[in-house]
Amino acid sequence: MSLISLRYANALAAVASTAKFDVAAAQQQLEDFYGTLADSRQLREVLMNPSLSGEQKLRVLDAISAKIGMFPQVRNFVAVIVDHKRLDELHEILQEYAAVTGKQSGLTEAEITSAHTLGDAERRMLEDQVAKLAGGAVHATYREDSTLLGGAVVRIGSTVYDGSIRAQLTQLKQKLVSA
């Protein structure tokens, strides 16, 4: 993650704190906007086109903002992102914003990588175990990596807990070689 993305995320968190609006709703509005942006090549071309005026881009943004139902502060934040030509970094800014607001609310970010897609029950059980490791509530993001063979790898901050079958086989191999 970049320092610039963190600065934008902190700025939005400060605005949210001052304006006292629902942080989760603001994040959802930003994610909805990002989803719309990611799904529409035409929208990206319009908002990133240097030949279009800022006023034209704002009209497009206002139309989207009205459909999504953005808070005025969230709309203004996106307008700043567009004006500063940081739209390519919006996804990263959203991730940083989630981390910043999570820390403010006492949540710990955890990245869980598994060999296959986990069901809801498996996710709940794994998140409960991760919460015990983290010492509090967690916000988990999930990834898949078929090379793990089975099990999961959990990253909480800079600490990695490797419970994958691949890691267990590597440990077994080292024990057999050294014996």
Residues 56 and 110 in one domain: no
Domain boundary among 103, 134, 162: 103
Residues 6+ away with beta carbon under 8 Å from 80: none
Residue-range definition of the domain harbouring residue 31: 3-103
Answer with the one of 76, 103, 130 that is the final residue of a domain.
103
Closest C-alpha among 132, 115, 109, 111 to residue 168: 115
Domain match, 87 and 11 both: yes
Of 63, 86, 103, the residue at which a domain comes to its end is 103
Tell me the two tokens of residue 18.
């001052």
Asked if 156 and 130 count as a contact pair (C-beta separation under 8 A), the reply is yes
* Main-chain dihedrals φ then ψ at residue 103, nearest 5 degrees: -65, -40
Both 84 and 132 in a single domain?
no
CB atoms inside a 10 Å sphere around CB 83:
12
- Range in 32-41, 97-106, 145-154, 169-178 the model is least confident about: 97-106
Distance CA 23, CA 39 (A): 24
Question: What integer best gives the mean pLDDT of the chain?
Answer: 86
Total Cβ atoms within 10 A of residue 39: 9
**Phi and psi for 124 in degrees, rounded to 5?**
-60, -45
Chain segment 23-54, per-residue pLDDT in tens: 778 888 988 999 989 999 999 999 999 998 98
Looking at the structure, tell me whether residues 94 and 117 fall in a common domain.
Answer: no
For 79, residues 6+ apart whose C-beta sits below 8 A from its C-beta are 58, 61
Pairwise CA distance, residues 171 & 11, whole Å: 45
Cα 16 to Cα 5, 13, 19, 140: the distances in Å are 16, 5, 5, 23
**Would you say the pTM of this structure is higher than 0.85?**
no
133 and 121 in a common domain: yes
Q: Are residues 11 and 64 in the same domain?
A: yes
Average pLDDT over residues 4-16: 87
How many helices and strands in the chain, by DSSP H and E?
8, 4
